Amino acid sequence: MTSQPISEKVSASVVMLIFGVIADVTAAVFFLVSSETRSWLQSKYMWIAVFALLLVAVVLSLLNLLQVQRRKISELSSALELHLASPTQHDLDMFEAFNGYASPQGRLLVWLRDGFLVSSFHNRELTALDRVLRFSRLEPRGFDDEELEAKYRTLMQHFDVLQNRLNVNIFPIGATDRYSVPPEWEDEQPELWREVIDGLCEAHSDVMQSYDEFFRSAQQKRLRSSAGTRVDEAPQS
């Protein structure tokens, strides 16, 4: 939206006020100066009035020009801020690589968002969680953008907490690819069972919240999730 020139914003009442002030000043001058000067002013009244009107027009034009220049400066400043806010090539590459392990449509996030069962887990989801943490450890530089880097580190910390709680509280289910919190704990050690379940729920909630914050921040900084084959969807060997 472009702002109106300031001359268009001057209302009729303001214009009339300007004319009134000019007339009042002129009348006061007639009474305050000598008779010779008054005679001269009377003879030149029309020219003085025209000059005053021209002066008002010049002032309004200058104010209008100032408004236009300020708008141009504001537009240039916005363009400069947008340019400075552009992500670095490293951040673009880093985000694309991260999406190979934890994209919103990838195995890990689909599991965490839609299929997370607090007491039962499949080995492939646990492997996906391990991969994203291994990726983080192998890429210590992180992101160049300080705000995005802080959110990324928070997310990785929450991923790490979730993995640690899983590692010490779930066990293989026979000769299968599944793991679970021992179901007998619910009857034999109900306090421990409740503590484990609550701890896993809390860690899962922290991961989802920090992931959403990180991803929203990345999108605001014009980083986009890449399409195509993802590491977390690669065939299992």
Tens of pLDDT, residue by residue over 27-61, are 666 565 667 666 766 676 677 777 777 888 888 88
Distance CA 196, CA 190 (A): 10
Q: In whole angstroms, how far apart are CA 110 and each of 97, 125, 161? A: 18, 10, 19
pLDDT digits (tens, 9 = 90+) for 168-214: 999 999 889 999 999 999 999 999 999 999 999 999 999 999 999 99
Q: What is the pLDDT of residue 51?
A: 77
For the CA atoms of 226, 229, 230, 234, the dihedral, rounded to the nearest 10 degrees, stands at: 180
Percent of the chain with pLDDT over 90: 50
User: What is the token pair recorded at 12?
Assistant: 């009729």
pLDDT attached to residue 79: 62
Contact, 128 vs 107, CB < 8 A?
A: yes
Q: What is the pLDDT of residues 97-153, one digit of tens each?
A: 999 999 999 999 999 999 898 889 999 999 999 999 999 999 888 999 999 999 999
pTM: predicted TM-score of the whole model, two decimal places: 0.62
